[in-house]
Amino acid sequence: MTIAPAVVPAGAEAMEWIPDGPYTLAGTVGTLQCGPHDPSFIVQGPDHWLAFRTVDGPVTLALRQRGSLNDSRVQATAWGPGAARALESVPRLLGGDDDWSTFDSSEFRATLPEVARKGRYLNPGLRLPASGRMLDTVARAVLEQKVTGIEAKRAWRYLLTRYGDPAPGAGTYAPPGLRLPPTAEQWRRVPSWDWHKAGVDSHRSATILKAALVASGLERLASLPGGDDVRAGLRSVPGIGVWTIAEVVQRTHGCPDSISIGDYHLAAYVGAALTGRRTDDAGMIELLRPWKGQRQRVVRSLYASGFRKPTFGPRLSPEDHRRR
């Protein structure tokens, strides 16, 4: 991994990150985007625009990959008070600390099922990003609790559009709809009727408000390794359980082992991919046991293979909480 200087546009700070080995920007950071209409993460052609806050202030960050899969570099350009701080975090954000060498070794690869080997072969540039943005990620994950993806994405978009601030340069050098996720104070100011309009039930809104009350403590977890201390810190917030913790540390810490126990689809998917039959959480844990320590990488490789489980039975249907 190499960090190199870059051409700097007026009013911005910039750098280039050169990964070791194959790399794919879109496949790596895409998991940080809450759907294609996420106001805090907008993709326009080769450019990935992110808006977030640092301890120094808000920032707009533009990422663009240049070169080929095996010989590429990512240009990062940042605007706003948090620009320098954001550039410091770029290597981790792009998966620079995510080491797949054990997973990619011939000995480990021989233990994997064909479908996982296929996924890794088709996507050798995949890394696990580490955003370090605790409150933003907690809020998004809580909105996703026990609802469809459509509902969660709509709620995130509505709340950011209504309560998030415009990102630095939005409408000039950055896309006009780019917005910052709400601060802890802004989350606390969302009135009950707007949670209702967003389709967010009282349990999820209460959990986000409780997380906002301890936001400074949550943000300190970003500096810790993604282990038991981070999980304990997240678990101390009422309403945050094992599923939410896994969803958070996958994105904030690039945890290679966390799997989303309790997910509506994941266990059935893993069972179908590995055995041809659906299974439950206990069955999924048993199936993934041989690769403990690398289970999230195995799951990502399964999805990257293109495998799709047969669709039978009932689907989780959206609920309109706005009519309650």
SS3 293: coil
Chain position carrying tokens 């240049």? 66
Chain position carrying tokens 């009932």? 314
- Domain segments of the chain: what residues? 2-98
Amino acid at 159: L
SS3 72: strand
The predicted model scores a pTM of: 0.92
Tell me the DSSP string of 3-29.
EE-----TT-EEEEEE-SS---HHHHH
Q: Which has the closest alpha carbon to 204: 229, 217, 187?
A: 187
Q: What is the pLDDT of residue 95?
A: 97
Q: Specify the CATH class of 2-98 in words.
A: alpha beta
SS3 164: coil
Q: pLDDT tens, 59-90?
A: 999 999 999 999 999 999 999 999 999 999 99
d(CA 273, CA 276) in angstroms, rounded, equals 6
Nearest 5°: phi and psi at 57? 130, 180
Cα angle 121, 126, 129; round to 5: 160
Tell me the DSSP string of 254-285.
--SS---TT-TTHHHHHHHHHHSS---HHHHH
Q: What is the pLDDT of residue 198?
A: 97
Structure tokens that stand for 1 in this block: 């991994």
> What is the block-wise mean pLDDT of the chain (324 residues), using blocks of 10 residues?
62 94 97 97 97 98 97 97 97 97 97 98 97 98 95 98 97 96 98 97 98 97 92 97 97 97 95 96 98 98 93 58 54
d(CA 63, CA 46) in angstroms, rounded, equals 8
